[in-house]
Amino acid sequence: MAVLVRIPGALRQFTDNARSLEVELPDGSDVAALLARIGADNPALVRRICDERGALRQHVNVFIGTTNVRDGDGLATAVPDGAEVYLLPAVSGG
């Protein structure tokens, strides 16, 4: 299946300024598998999303469409075919 991952501006330094990535995944994959697939080619990008334990960083959110995976099964949330996945920093800081 194919998934489109939207990259926030602050992380495009890790994608050659690409605003999105098209990722091929096995059917039934979850968010963790999606991040692992991206991380195989781009480990520095995925280090910004998860720490070395595989935990989602506190001020980073992953949305599948309009749903925050924190409101689902976290990184075990299934990613449907054709989904748009957003990697988003929390609105915070100063």
Partner 1 sequence: MTQTMVLIGTRKGLWTATSDDDRQSWKLRGPDLALNEVAACAIDTRGDRPRLFAGASSSHWGPAMSYSDDLGASWTEPDPAPISFPKETDAALARVWQITPGPADQPDLVWAGTEPSALWRSEDRGVSFTLNQGLWDHPHRKEWQPGGGGQALHTILPHPADSRQMHVAMSTGGVYRTADDGASWNPANKGIQGSFLPADEFPEYGQCVHKVARHPERPEQLFAQNHGGVYRSDDEGNSWTSIAEGLPADFGFNMVVHPHAPGTVYVIPLVADVERIPPDAQCRVYRSVDAGDTWEDVSKGLPGDRFYATVMRDGMCVDDSATTGIYFGTRSGSVFASADEGENWSEIASHLPDVLCVRAGSVS
Using CB under 8 A, list all residues that contact partner 1. Answer: 10-11, 43-44, 47-49, 51-53, 55, 57, 59-60, 89-90, 92-93
The torsion defined by the Cα of 24, 29, 31 and 32, in degrees rounded to 10, comes to: -100
Q: CB-wise, 43 or 80, nearer to partner 1?
A: 43
Separation of alpha carbons 23 and 27, rounded Å: 12
Q: CB-wise, 19 or 80, nearer to partner 1?
A: 19
We find the least distance from the C-beta atom of residue 61 to partner 1, in angstroms, to be: 10
Q: CB-wise, 19 or 59, nearer to partner 1?
A: 59
- In DSSP terms, 60 is beta-bridged to 89
Are the beta carbons of 49 and 57 closer than 8 angstroms?
yes
